[in-house]
């Protein structure tokens, strides 16, 4: 086991209430003088210099709810580790007491292998735009079969409309959502419903507006770049303070908010050539917290490198992530059902690549990538299926479309059911994107609420350029316009319409099927055998277990009915059909024609079950 390179001993940053007193810690390695200006009283508390550029203080004057600034050599700035920005990203910080009356002491998260993840954006999930609104919908998610929600980033961002990836105060929970207490309420409520909470965090960059970190120290480096601006300094001079900052943030989410897992945004943009990579140090800290709390916590990475080291263990000299998003599964699946091959879909062949994704996880596992003009990726052999999170929709893949269209407005109902089937019958960890379960027609375009006019115009131009690369004509919705945000808010009343109710019933039944198959040990990579039926544009999936339970799935990706002969031997029954009339299909749900000849409607799938004995 490698050892941590962090030697400062710093566990908490900013201002924390302990036994009625405020403990203050700030990193400002180049400062000559540091003090805390308490806004309500106007008093200024000098801080004492310590080793490694840290400054400390203690007072009983600063109490919960009070606003304050840190004064660095005569200039006032918000606290980098602020717990609340009640007046926005340019205003003073506010002290929050993170003590909370938790009632989840007996809660244990479901094992990742059994997760059905539901990604949501707090601001558009309900018309309340708050954590409270999410809490009110938890019974519906529970009824659907969801046992883990993934919340898009909640770190304080400019204004009150944003995807969350422009956050500039990683420790401050977005005030318009309900702040720290609102998030704690949500986590506690989820745990009462046996639903795990995954929080999307961004450690590869910070947003441009309200980013005061450079005033404190070398948080950024010119050694590297990212698509979103300067890279965070994880391995240059002074990087120890930046690493402390991230580790303190990880600790806060797990200990003070009882978050079950962190989904880390675009970890391939975390540039770090230190002997111990930042992700490895996060893994080490997480393991320590797991041992301290006797509670499991998970780390999920978004990574586009197809590099198994990210999810290899520390003992195997990997980065120790529990799982990663598998975008290639999405790309291959979408092309297989007719997605136009432009942009990053260009080099995906559709069904052949989707068959490979099901069996091999990485489509590019060392083969040549025309898009990248190099041999790309590593083999995923030996890695568990649960280590890959798959989806047919997510915030990126919907929002990357010029108009933010959902599958419901792009594909027919039978194709929507086929997409969901492909995700939920896979040996990987499935994830849904909010509203897909009833086929919402509400779009999810990119939106912001910046206050800097130059930045607003830059964002507009950036979106136009992005879609030009996809050869899309027209103009994307204005990201700054409030109407763009409001158009994305889910309409839960859509479920009152027949077609939406039918799709919802389909998702409920499909999730129940997955849980049943999981309970029998039938959805593992090791037991999955994929056969391509090229003439019929179909896939035959075979799964069995040690108890001799066996299922066969047929997936017809063609636009015509297909007839299959000699694909099954023995006695089989239809366990599930995407074309059952119960959810708007064309077949009686009790039909069981698993005989010598099988007819499968266009863009549909069926599950056959065989149990020996």
Active-site residue list: 265, 302
Task: Locate 18 and state its tokens.
Answer: 């302990």
Q: With beta carbons less than 8 A apart as the criterion, state whether 528 and 540 touch.
A: no
144-172: burial string, b at 16+ Cβ within 10 Å, e else = bbbbbbbbbbbbbbbbebbbbbbbbbbbb
How far is Cα 444 from Cα 441, in angstroms, rounded to an integer? Answer: 10
SS3 226: strand
Of 568, 567, 607, give the one whose Cα is nearest residue 589: 607
In sequence order, what are the beta bridge partners of 574?
608
DSSP letters, 171-224, are: EEE-GGGTHHHHHHHHHHHHHHTT-EEEEEE--S---STT--GGGTS--EEEEE
SS3 530: strand
Task: Locate 22 and state its tokens.
Answer: 């405020």
Neighbour tally for 600: CB within 10 Å: 23
Count H helices and E strands in the chain, helices first.
13, 30
How far is Cα 528 from Cα 388, in angstroms, rounded to an integer? Answer: 15
Radius of gyration of the chain (CA): 25
Question: In degrees to the nearest 10, what's the CA dihedral of 512, 514, 515, 520?
Answer: 130
Write the Ramachandran bin of 317: left for phi over 0, alpha for psi from -120 to 50, otherwise beta.
left
38's enclosing H/E stretch is strand 34-38
Neighbour tally for 366: CB within 10 Å: 11
What pairing do the DSSP bridges indicate for beta strands 54-59 and 21-27?
antiparallel
| Residue whose entry in the numeric block shows the structure tokens 């195997």 | 316
> Which segments within 278-436 are labelled E, that is strand?
298-301, 323-325, 368-369, 374-375, 388-390, 429-433
| Cβ neighbourhood burial of 520 (10 Å; 0-12, 13-18, 19+) | middle
531's enclosing H/E stretch is strand 528-533
- Which residues does 347 contact at the CB level (< 8 Å), separation at least 6? 369, 370, 371
């Amino acid at each position: 086991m490698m050892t941590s390179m962090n030697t400062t001993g710093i566990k908490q940053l900013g201002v924390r209430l302990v036994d009625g007193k405020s403990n203050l810690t700030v990193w400002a390695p180049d400062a000559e003088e540091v003090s805390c200006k308490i806004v309500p009283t106007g008093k200024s508390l000098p801080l004492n210099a310590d080793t490694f550029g840290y400054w400390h203080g203690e007072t009983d004057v600063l109490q919960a709810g009070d606003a304050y600034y840190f004064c660095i050599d005569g200039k006032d700035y918000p606290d980098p580790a602020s717990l609340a920005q009640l007046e926005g990203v340019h205003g003073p910080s506010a002290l929050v007491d993170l003590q909370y009356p938790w009632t989840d002491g007996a809660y244990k998260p479901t094992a990742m292998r059994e997760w059905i993840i539901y990604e949501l954006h707090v601001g558009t999930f309900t018309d309340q735009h708050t954590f409270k609104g999410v809490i009110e919908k938890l019974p519906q998610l529970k009824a659907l079969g969801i046992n883990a929600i993934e919340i898009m980033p909640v770190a304080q961002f400019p204004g009150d409309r944003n995807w969350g990836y422009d956050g500039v105060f990683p420790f401050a929970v977005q005030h318009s959502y309900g702040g720290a207490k609102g998030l704690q309420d949500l986590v506690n409520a989820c745990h009462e419903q046996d639903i795990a909470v995954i929080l999307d965090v961004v450690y590869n960059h910070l947003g441009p507006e309200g980013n005061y970190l450079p005033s404190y120290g070398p948080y950024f480096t010119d050694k590297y770049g990212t698509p979103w601006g300067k890279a965070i300094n994880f391995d240059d001079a002074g990087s120890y303070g930046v690493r402390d900052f991230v580790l303190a943030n990880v600790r806060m989410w797990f200990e003070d908010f009882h978050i079950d897992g962190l989904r880390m945004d675009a970890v391939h943009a975390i540039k770090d050539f230190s002997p111990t990579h930042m992700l490895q140090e996060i893994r080490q800290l997480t393991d320590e917290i797991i041992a301290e709390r006797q509670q499991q916590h998970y780390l999920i990475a978004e990574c586009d490198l197809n590099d198994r080291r990210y999810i290899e263990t520390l003992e195997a000299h990997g980065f120790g992530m529990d799982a990663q998003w598998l975008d290639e599964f999405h790309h291959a699946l979408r092309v297989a059902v007719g997605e136009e091959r432009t942009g990053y879909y260009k080099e995906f062949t559709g069904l052949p690549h989707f068959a490979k994704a099901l069996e091999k996880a990485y489509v590019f596992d060392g083969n040549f990538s025309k898009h990248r003009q190099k041999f790309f990726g590593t083999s995923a052999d030996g890695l568990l299926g649960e280590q890959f999170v798959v989806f047919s929709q997510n915030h990126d893949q919907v929002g990357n479309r010029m108009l933010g269209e959902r599958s419901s407005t792009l594909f027919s109902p039978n194709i929507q059911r086929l997409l969901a089937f492909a995700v939920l019958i896979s040996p990987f960890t499935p994830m849904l994107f909010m509203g897909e379960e009833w086929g919402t027609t509400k779009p999810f375009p990119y939106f912001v609420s910046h206050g800097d006019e130059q930045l607003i115009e830059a964002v507009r131009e950036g979106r136009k350029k992005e879609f030009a690369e996809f050869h899309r004509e027209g103009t994307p919705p204005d990201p700054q316009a409030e109407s763009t945000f409001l158009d994305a808010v889910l309409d839960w009343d859509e479920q009152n319409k027949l077609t939406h109710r039918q799709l919802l019933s389909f998702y409920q039944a499909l999730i129940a099927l997955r849980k049943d198959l999981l309970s029998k040990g039938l959805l593992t990579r090791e037991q999955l055998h994929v056969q391509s039926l090229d003439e019929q544009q179909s896939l035959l999936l075979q799964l069995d277990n040690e108890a001799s339970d066996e299922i066969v799935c047929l997936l017809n990706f063609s636009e015509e009915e297909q007839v299959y002969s000699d694909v099954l031997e023995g006695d089989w029954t239809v366990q599930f059909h995407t074309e059952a009339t119960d959810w708007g299909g064309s077949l009686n749900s009790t039909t069981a024609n698993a005989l010598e000849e099988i007819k499968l409607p266009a863009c549909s799938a069926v599950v056959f079950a065989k149990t020996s004995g």
